[in-house]
Chain A
């Protein structure tokens, strides 16, 4: 079985500061890795995903995440955050070859950007 751990439930940061949101996973097989973002009072939307190839993946709004197989991690980073990045961020995994598309989510990290 797979599991996802997001140790930080909340990360406060000042505007224009860098941030890292941590995600570790556990799985006996290879996985696909996702970061979803949930803005206040909205549904989740995909931020970025790692399927294969380059271990560094980027989103269109300046976030990036690096897949580290040896540490079973997929941390999300941004060099300079904006107020508008305030949201809850969920790390998730799915299993290649699975027939059900099931996503296993972490418990989420609330990124609170302060002016």
Chain B
């Protein structure tokens, strides 16, 4: 049981480039989330999904897109990378219900130059 896996671990992008951050979970969770973590700012929710085919914006969605075609996968797409997107990105998953624990992946560190 691998839990939540993320690839890549680290990436450097040039301004204007695009990339997809991959996230997969093997716990059959309906709910999945993408967060970004910036120093001293805690975690901010970018997008979330309550099931395959259903996604919605979080607190900081600008510059990002997501899709959820399967229960297991929840990729995050950056279309035109900007220096403001330099951050550490975490994917998480959980069962239904606000009392449920969220399980986090190891993170992807992204540097946009």
- Residues of chain A touching chain B, judged by Cβ–Cβ distance below 8 Å, are 4, 9, 32, 34, 41-46, 49, 51, 90, 94-103, 105-108
Contacts and interface: CB of A to CB of B under 8 A. Distances in A.
A42 B103 CA distance: 12
A102 B48 contact: yes
A51 B4 CA distance: 24
Interface in B45-89: 45, 48, 50, 56, 58
Contacts of A107: 40-42
Contacts of A42: 106-107
A44 B42 CA distance: 11
Contact of A103 (B41, B102, B106, B107): B102
29 contacts: A4-B42, A9-B40, A32-B98, A32-B99, A43-B4, A43-B104, A45-B103, A45-B104, A49-B99, A90-B43, A94-B98, A95-B98, A96-B98, A97-B98, A100-B31, A100-B48, A100-B56, A101-B31, A101-B33, A101-B48, A101-B94, A101-B96, A102-B98, A103-B102, A105-B42, A105-B43, A107-B41, A107-B42, A108-B40
A67 B48 CA distance: 28
Given A102-B58, A105-B43, A107-B40, A96 B99 contact: yes
A96 to B, nearest CB: 6
Contacts of B97: 101
A95 B97 CA distance: 9
